[in-house]
Chains A and B, each alone.
Chain A
């Protein structure tokens, strides 16, 4: 390794240690690392902002897809529909705890597949605390299940979870591709998740008849106070989903669809858009992505990722099932340690370089070659579901733990792990089997 490569690795490692430790603000660490790479001259600004054939630079497709969906969600949440769904699930479950856990998980998973995970848990989790308090049961397993089911649901679609947005963009996979490959695997993984919950948590959950009636007294219809806006939101979301479904055929990038949905939403909103644009868009998250893209670009530029890719190919001997399983479990473990957003950005560049080594070429044909394609799905499933391994694995986990702490139920790293690890492992094993059936037989 040259001194330049070592310096680049050092910047990268320090930033990633910050992500894992949660001591330093992630956005600050990512931006500082990125700027340092530019200052030292690892990357030119042009390479960082616009990319080259080898270095991808900032992935604006991902950035604008995130921004577009954040605007759609920021307006939708004002209607109270998230609260409505959480209360409705409790009442459909008639306050029975295992049924409630299953319903809340299902609703969180479906909503997370279509909209942003973080917003979903941010609005569902507090209602879950109220429900559990009313039922006089411990909210902690319910809260952890909110995060876990949100990450499972998000795995199903291109727009469901940031790792998928990035993988879809980098590998030129469409919304429909995700529905064909990930959705069936996620559906089975979700059932396996419910099975594990029923087995281990079911017998311990008991509530009194009186408390169940108190939950039934909640009036979910009152949660919705702007029905005209809700109708507009539903129309825009349906149109957006339609747009995502056909984006591959009409030759539009997903970010274009998301921005179109955001623009339409803002036109129909008719209130002051400033607040939505200022607080509805999670700017720290956006800058976190930008910092990560630049940092990983630096690592690619100096050839470290190429070395890692050749190492991974050497390790697996270029054997298809071994490569696929390696990428899936490596992505999962890496996500559990540093969080699934930084891990995905890194592994995307790894898989891209593996494709370059395997195919001796760049571009879409190399990325979609028969021996490369399964690696993208392995990365997507591994990173999304690996996000459930630990508390730092995915943004939704951190949000849920913060809400739990504020409500007086402290969730430590180990307590989270006790629930999340078995659930994550079950879904990852299902994914491994799914990948084998789909690609490796």
Chain B
């Protein structure tokens, strides 16, 4: 079995100038947790995931600090007035390339699964001749391979 057999081909993409508000609408409305950013030639430039949207309101400089001391009334972004100007942020400002793992359609699913677990990523993009043709997520692998085996096993046992 290869990436082509289990990938989702019905993909929603955004352009690099798309405002983050629009991306948040897309992610919340659909069941996926990341959206590829593509150019006019369908080349993948990066991914915008829930993590990147959360990053907008919990900036990187706080990564080293334990925030348990904040009172219940504090929001996600500690301190006042940190969220102004978010309306101007575009896909290209928040998308990350390092989260982007590309595989060819013929990649064995075992390698796709290994990549996800060892690289700590939740999805890979399937690229053929430079163009985005599909996405394989954690869920796709569980649905296509892991779940059928587990449920078959549970049916066999009394």
Residues of A at under 8 Å CB distance from B?
80, 83-84, 87, 122-123, 126-127, 129-134, 136, 211, 214, 217-220, 222-223, 225, 403, 406-408
Set of chain A residues within 8 Å of B81, measured between Cβ atoms:
133, 136
Taking CB atoms, residues of chain A closer than 8 Å to B71 are 214, 217-219
A225 lies within 8 A of B68 (CB) = yes
Q: How far is the CB of B79 from chain A (nearest CB, A)?
A: 2
B82 within 8 A of A: yes
Contact A407 B61 (CB under 8 A): yes
10 CB contacts below 8 A, A to B, read A87-B69, A122-B64, A126-B65, A130-B78, A132-B79, A133-B78, A219-B69, A222-B69, A223-B66, A223-B69
Chain B residues near A123: list those with CB within 8 A. 64-65
Q: Are A129 and B66 closer than 8 Å at their CB atoms? A: no
User: Considering the chains assembled together, what is the distance between the CA atoms of A211 and B62 in angstroms?
Assistant: 21
Check if B79 sits within 8 Å of A126, measured CB to CB.
no
> Which residues of B line the A interface, CB within 8 A?
59-62, 64-66, 68-71, 73, 78-82
Q: In the complex the two chains form, what is the Cα distance from A218 to B70 in whole Å? A: 5
Residues in chain B near residue A87, CB distance under 8 A? 69
Q: Which of B61, B69, B79 has the most CB of A within 10 A?
A: B69
The CA-CA distance from A219 to B70 in the complex, in Å, is 6
A134→B81 CA distance, assembly (Å) = 9
Residues in B neighbouring A133, C-beta threshold 8 A: 78-82
Compute how far the CA of A408 lies from the CA of B84 in the bound complex, rounded to whole angstroms.
12
* Bound complex: CA A123 to CA B69 (Å): 14
- Tell me the nearest residue of chain A to B60, going by C-beta: A406
Tell me whether A80 and B70 are in contact in the complex, defined as CB-CB below 8 angstroms, given that A136-B80, A406-B59 are known contacts: no
Known: A130-B78, A130-B79, A133-B82. Contact between A222 and B68, CB under 8 A? yes
Pairwise interchain contact B65-A406, C-beta atoms closer than 8 A: no
**A80 lies within 8 A of B66 (CB):** yes
User: A residues within 8 A CB of B64?
Assistant: 122-123, 126
Contact partner, A134, options B59, B62, B80, Cβ 8 Å: B80
* Smallest CB gap from B77: residue in A: A133
Report the minimum CB–CB distance from B146 to chain A (whole Å). 28
Residues of A within 8 A of B70 (CB): 130, 218
Given contacts A83-B68, A123-B64, 12 further A-B contacts (CB under 8 A): A80-B68, A83-B65, A126-B61, A126-B65, A129-B79, A132-B79, A218-B69, A222-B68, A223-B69, A225-B66, A407-B59, A407-B61
Q: Given contacts A130-B79, A136-B81, A217-B73, is CB(A408)–CB(B59) below 8 Å?
A: yes
Distance in angstroms between the alpha carbons of A134 and B62 in the assembled complex: 15
With beta carbons under 8 angstroms apart, the residue of B59, B69, B73, B80 that contacts A83 is B69
B62 to chain A: closest residue by CB: A126
> A132 to chain B: which residues have CB within 8 Å?
79
Q: Which residues of B contact A130 (CB under 8 A)?
A: 62, 70, 78-79
B80 nearest CB across to chain A (Å): 6
Q: Are B79 and A134 in contact (CB under 8 A)?
A: yes
Q: How far is the CB of A212 from chain B (nearest CB, A)?
A: 13
